[in-house]
Amino acid sequence: MQIGRIEGATRVLGKSQGYMGLPLRDIAIECTVNGPSTPAMETAWLPTPAEIAAIDAGAPVILRILGTGHPPVMVYAGQPSDVERPVVGWALINAAGHIIIWNTAKDVVEQVRERRYPDLPVTPLYTHPAAMAALYAIQAEGPSSEADRREA
């Protein structure tokens, strides 16, 4: 899973320890054991397409805790609005999930869509396409070079 930046993040943990950094939101909850206004922290996690497929096929979500003590935790599905997603580009993605073309300029992608792929929606990218390809092993269809795909 990818770390998401939770909406309303109040701090980032772990970065100074050499980890990627985990944005979290401090909240207070009503807890039946610890009482009202119990301090809690929330983080956002974004499953990859492969993880979504695995969950859809019945795979469990695994929570790994470092160390030997296990704090009380809750795992649940949030809402799409729970994560901040800065748009870094635009793409045409076919039904198989393959990137056909991407560019940082939405109008460039819209022009290619109009000329060649009128049935595909223009999709915002929240991660740089090269990172998406590495993370999700997306194989682009059609042109083989990045420059051709971007039609820059």
In 46-105, where does DSSP find H-type helix?
Answer: 49-56
Nearest to 42 by CA among 1, 69, 82, 71: 82
Give yes or no for residue 140 having a pLDDT over 50. Answer: no
pTM listed for this prediction: 0.56
Give yes or no for residue 146 having a pLDDT over 60. Answer: no
Domain that holds residue 34: 2-84
Say if CB 25 and CB 150 are below 8 A apart: no
Question: Are 135 and 119 contained in the same domain?
Answer: yes
Q: How far apart are CA 145 and CA 34, in angstroms?
A: 57
Question: Are 27 and 73 contained in the same domain?
Answer: yes
Question: Are 75 and 102 contained in the same domain?
Answer: no
User: pLDDT tens-digit profile of 66-124?
Assistant: 889 888 888 888 888 888 777 777 888 887 777 788 888 888 889 988 999 899 888 87
